[in-house]
Amino acid sequence: MEIPAFLDRKLTRRFETYDSDQDGFIERSDFEQAGSRTTAAFGLSDDDLRARRFHEHLLGVWDHLSAVTDTNDDDRISLTEYKRAFALRLLGRPESFDDSYLPFLDALVAVADHDGDGHLGVDEYVRWSEALMNLRSADARAVHARLDHDGDGLVSTDDLLAAIRAYYFSEDPDGPGAWLFGPLD
């Protein structure tokens, strides 16, 4: 499968958000750093049950991602390997996203939902987006506004999962998924 130009740009952007240390590779340490930044941003200690569950699921995403993309077994993923996995449809199935992302998103919301209402307000959304993905505050606010379909100021796990699916499977440049990880260069 050839990767369409729009998806290619989105994959490059997503790769950049995974690459915490910006060394051009995704490694387990990138996920560990991002997880630590995120739980610290919400004031959770390492022994907090929500923090432990979040770290477990985040590293589960790493395990899944590396298992299907690290073709040369060097324990890191290059942009070429990442994109090749999509071209070969190893990652490009909606059910694979649901299976790996839904438990992760539930764990993320448990950490980021500071007021416990089951949804992410704009400040909660901005805080986790900055910590986990190094997303700029203004970009995270714009993403939240796009995901807040009913204008109530809240985003649910279902909204996040739908946006993730749209990010990878929709060619709509104005859809909420297109902006999930900030503007595309």
Quick one: pLDDT band at residue 98, thresholds 50, 70, 90?
confident
Per-residue pLDDT, 169: 85
Establish if 183 belongs to a structural domain.
Answer: no
As a whole number of angstroms, the distance between CA 159 and CA 177 comes to: 10
Taking the whole predicted model, whether its pTM rises above 0.75 is answered as yes
CATH number at residue 47: 1.10.238.10
For the chain, the domain total comes to 1
Establish if 29 belongs to a structural domain.
Answer: yes
Per-residue pLDDT, 80: 95
More confident residue, 102 or 34: 34
Task: Give the chain's mean pLDDT.
Answer: 90
- Boundaries of domain holding 133: 5-178
Render pLDDT for 103-119 as a digit per residue (tens, 0 to 9): 999 999 999 998 899 99
DSSP sequence for 29-52: HHHHHHHHHHHHHTT--TTSHHHH
Per-residue pLDDT, 109: 95
Establish if 139 belongs to a structural domain.
Answer: yes
Establish if 154 belongs to a structural domain.
Answer: yes
**For range 64-90, the mean pLDDT:** 89
Contacts for 70 with CB less than 8 Å, ≥ 6 apart: 76, 77, 81
Establish if 184 belongs to a structural domain.
Answer: no
Establish if 185 belongs to a structural domain.
Answer: no
Establish if 89 belongs to a structural domain.
Answer: yes
Establish if 98 belongs to a structural domain.
Answer: yes
Render pLDDT for 34-63 as a digit per residue (tens, 0 to 9): 999 999 999 999 899 999 999 999 999 899
Supply angle C-alpha 27, 104, 97, rounded to 5.
85
